[in-house]
Amino acid sequence: MPILYDKEHAIFNIQTPDTSYIIGIYDGKLPLHIHYGKRIEQTYDMFDMLDKPAGKNYSFDPVCMDFSEKIARNVHLFELPTYGDGDYRMPAFHAQYADGSTVSKLYYTGHKIYDGKPALSDMPSSYVEDDSEAQTLELYLEDELSGLQAVLCYTAYGDRNVIVRSNRYVNAGKATVTLYNVDSGCIDFDHNDFDFVHFYGAWARERMMERTPLLHGLQAIDSARGSSSHYQNPFVCLASHDAGEDMGEVYGMNLVYSGNFHAGAYVDSFHKTRFFTGINPFDFQWKLDCGESFQTPECVMVYSDRGFGKMSRTYHEFIRERICRGKFRDQERPILINNWEATYFDFNEDRIVAIAKKAAEMGVELMVLDDGWFGHRNDDHTSLGDWFVDKNKLPDGLASLAKKINALGMKFGLWFEPEMISTESELYGKHPDWCLHVQGRSSSEGRNQLILDLSRTEVCDYIIDTLSEILGNANIEYIKWDMNRNMSEIGSAYWSPDRQREVAHRYMMGLYRILGTIKERFPHVLMEGCSGGGGRFDLGMFCFFDQFWTSDDTDAVERQYIQTGTSYGYPAMVMGAHVSACPNHQTGRTTDIKTRGYVALAGQFGYELDLSTLTEEELAEVKKQIALCKELAPVFHKGDMYRIKSPFEGNLTVWEFVSKDKKTAVVEIFVIKGMANPSYECIRLKGLDSAAVYVDRNTGKKYSGEVLMHMGIKREGWKDYSHEILILEKA
């Protein structure tokens, strides 16, 4: 059983195969955090290992008198830290009550343990396929004075080292409660021997890894842009100072949410660490009226005692199998070509068909028509919201174009940006109040567009109905769903003044409803997300999208950093990765088509160029890449990934993917910068069958698995941007 309850000592032991998360109820009412880490079986003496809750009275720390023995709350480890009761660290919950006070005292009233995992109201979440694969603990707390109730929900998966948690707040009192801070995950540690690891970036430079030792005080990241954003990602880690790929302790938190978030660590004067994540409390509040409830997003927690590698592989498998869902979860995806970098807005039906025809000859399986097919969209100043076909470009409409693409043996896909509106559009002329705006203030534009107010039901219904009509009247088997700006002037003409700080979160709830409805109505449509590349690359999106465009930067060198950083928290299966034209449109760098292809093979593979401009030699290489993708995609997408060499640490990038049965290993080696008189690099592989013999497909040489892992292969440095791919198969 993954969740054990020691009634005598009031201790809960939430277990996974290798880990324990242990909670104790002090004095029958206060949930204390006892342990998260390696699995522990015996818990009867766990309270004795903590600072005594009723022990030392630290100077200037007031003591709480609510218990049989007084307690200085500022020095103890809590499951739900609140504000106003003597704990001066960052609270995980902060609210205001009818009397104007912000003091909360949420005490234990009971619990429930049951098989399975509940779906969350209004929020996407992980899931189970059978109740036997997980158990859930719900801790019930109540603030006696106000009547506010909290439900702390923990689910442990029986065969995965994953614990997911979230909180639900119910107003069972007689007056409105205003919520200010509602973190999803919060873990208190009794030491600060950690590094804080996060993944920052910008447009076309997403998820760059940064690692710094914890400092006393607050160390945090956040987004207040209305999306999880390019600039920070809602996946963070605490790692022991010695943690590497295969050693040391690592704690990961990954938030299932696509809007404003914060995450970080607070270290107090006694070297205790509070690790947290949740909705960003900045510019957020929520009026919780009597009888209403508020559900926080879910936090997916992973603990690894063998470094970042084990943590990442745990996340990869869990995301593939219990975050992603639907028809395409277990299927290999079609290899696509997108016309954007080939044509931008300048195309007609004949040109799209010509691009598709050449791609079909190469073995490409899906033609995607990008921006510019609707309204009067010849540049990025107009027509968003007007989702009707531009007959000047496509005189016979989408259904006719789809038939022509299908006749080539290819699927047809379409780009949308449904969340946006252009001021030069018929929709804006009819409904100028449908955009996010503040009455009386000018609105800032991003990419010459405004954002529709998805906190409004009628706006969401318009998007659902419009997309449903398009998808229902043409054979469209793929959607690229884009979102090309962040929020500003966040306001709604619908909501009252006292609810304006709810709008950003209500927007996300509306977006999730739209996506869920479209996915339910059109389960046969492969859905790829995009936000100027990877600007909304998070677990909330992967509850709806089958894959996500990793970055608008398709340069083969930059992509090594981007895809490596992304791989710490997300699997290759969800990373859109394409071969684009050179010189690269983002960096101006020129790399050969082999290097571009091998980097892109480590994601969901495709092309963003006009194949008719390639040489015969390049076209021959394209055919080889497509054949390799069709053969090796199961290894890249469903196998175990090992980061052998990181571009963040040296001049080589080496990715290894090993099939689950260990019969096939694919090793990709990239040199970032050539150098004179280079030394040999020893590349020790991982995850192989040590007793097996592996054959190098390229050379026919045989190697034992133990030699490949313990001695490795040696390679000498090459010229700039050079590459090698090894395919090793069991003899």
Residues designated catalytic: 482, 552
Of the chain, the end-to-end C-alpha distance in Å amounts to 40
Interior CA angle at 614 toward 612 and 619, to 5°?
A: 95
- How many CB atoms neighbour CB 680 within 10 A? 10
Report the C-alpha gap between 487 and 436 in whole angstroms: 8
Helix (H) or strand (E) holding 519: helix 503-521
Report the C-alpha gap between 378 and 344 in whole angstroms: 9
Q: Is the peptide bond before 583 cis (omega within 30 degrees of 0)?
A: yes
**What is the separation of C-alpha 712 from the centre of its chain, rounded to a whole number of angstroms?**
33
> CB–CB of 626/364 below 8 Å?
yes
Report the C-alpha gap between 16 and 155 in whole angstroms: 10
Question: Secondary structure of 463-483 in the HEC alphabet?
Answer: HHHHHHHHHHCCCCCEEEECC
* β partners of residue 196: 212, 238
> CB–CB of 453/507 below 8 Å?
yes
Residue 451: partners with Cβ closer than 8 Å, 6 or more residues away: 226, 419, 420, 421, 435, 436, 485, 487
Longest dimension (CA), the chain: 83
Residue 406: partners with Cβ closer than 8 Å, 6 or more residues away: 412, 475
* β partners of residue 166: 153
Helix (H) or strand (E) holding 563: helix 556-567
Residue 549: partners with Cβ closer than 8 Å, 6 or more residues away: 480, 528, 529, 530, 531, 533, 534, 576
Q: Which amino acid is at 45?
A: D
Task: Of 23, 18, 20, 45, give the one whose Cα is nearest residue 34.
Answer: 23
**What is the separation of C-alpha 40 from the centre of its chain, rounded to a whole number of angstroms?**
30
Output the CA–CA distances (angstroms, integers) from residue 377 to 45, 179, 360, 468, 481, in the order listed. 69, 43, 27, 21, 17
Q: How many helices (H) and strands (E) does the chain have?
A: 12, 40
Task: Of 198, 196, 106, give the one whose Cα is nearest residue 152.
Answer: 106
> CB–CB of 260/282 below 8 Å?
yes
Report the C-alpha gap between 673 and 661 in whole angstroms: 35
DSSP3 helix / strand / coil % (the chain, rounded to 5): 25, 35, 45
Token duo for residue 294: 């508020």
* β partners of residue 37: 20
Which residue has 């097919």 as its token pair? 373
Report the C-alpha gap between 164 and 188 in whole angstroms: 16
> CB–CB of 212/246 below 8 Å?
no
Report the C-alpha gap between 357 and 362 in whole angstroms: 9
Parallel, antiparallel or unpaired: strands 250-256 and 177-189 = unpaired
> CB–CB of 63/75 below 8 Å?
no
Token duo for residue 369: 């028509």
Residues in the chain, overall count: 731
The C-alpha R_g of the chain, in whole angstroms, comes to 27
